[in-house]
Amino acid sequence: MIFVDTSFWVSLRDRREQYHAQARVIMMETIRQRVPLVATLLILAETHAYFSRSKPLREQILRDFLENPVVRLEDVTSSDRDAAVHLLRKHDDKDYPLADATSFAVMQRLGIRRVLSFDVHFRQFGGFEVLGLPENG
């Protein structure tokens, strides 16, 4: 399984994004390999909000998350929430948003080590293989 972050979905669907072409190539390869993708409702909500001004893209995002058999929408548990808050407090020198900390907690619970992301927080947190983000990113 590979976790998919908001930054990846945005890059995949927004042609103006810096990593759009790279996201398309990575997604095509991931689909070709039939790797299951995991996201949370927080990721869906962030991504949907980003595209809120474009009806076609809002609809595409809903299809991506809710009608794609490759994508599993994982529920965030109260334990995930508590773990995320603990991570934020433990790493208070970092600027992780709650959504990222929640993703870290869900990934840890599920034993997911790989993430499709262009967000430096995943590399900064450590312990994950960040697919997409350049090494110097």
Q: Which domain holds residue 99?
A: 2-132
E strands of the chain, at which residues?
2-4, 37-40, 71-74, 114-117, 129-132
Q: Is residue 23 in some structural domain? A: yes
Q: CA-CA distance, 127 to 75, in Å (whole number)?
A: 22
Residue 107 — very low, low, confident or very high, per pLDDT cuts 50/70/90?
A: very high
Q: Is residue 56 in some structural domain? A: yes
Q: Is residue 137 in some structural domain? A: no
Q: Is residue 20 in some structural domain? A: yes
Q: Is residue 127 in some structural domain? A: yes
Q: How far is CA 92 from CA 21, 84, 97, 107, in A?
A: 34, 12, 11, 20
* pLDDT tens-digit series, residues 67-103: 999 999 999 999 999 999 999 999 988 888 999 999 9
Which pLDDT does position 126 carry in this prediction?
84
Q: Is residue 27 in some structural domain? A: yes
Q: What is the domain count for the chain?
A: 1
Residue in 87, 119, 124 with CA at minimum distance from that of residue 106: 87
pTM: 0.91
Q: What is the CATH number of the domain that holds 109?
A: 3.40.50.1010
Q: Is residue 91 in some structural domain? A: yes
Write out the DSSP string of 78-116: HHHHHHHHHHHHHTTTS---HHHHHHHHHHHHHT--EEE
- How high does pLDDT run on average in the chain? 93
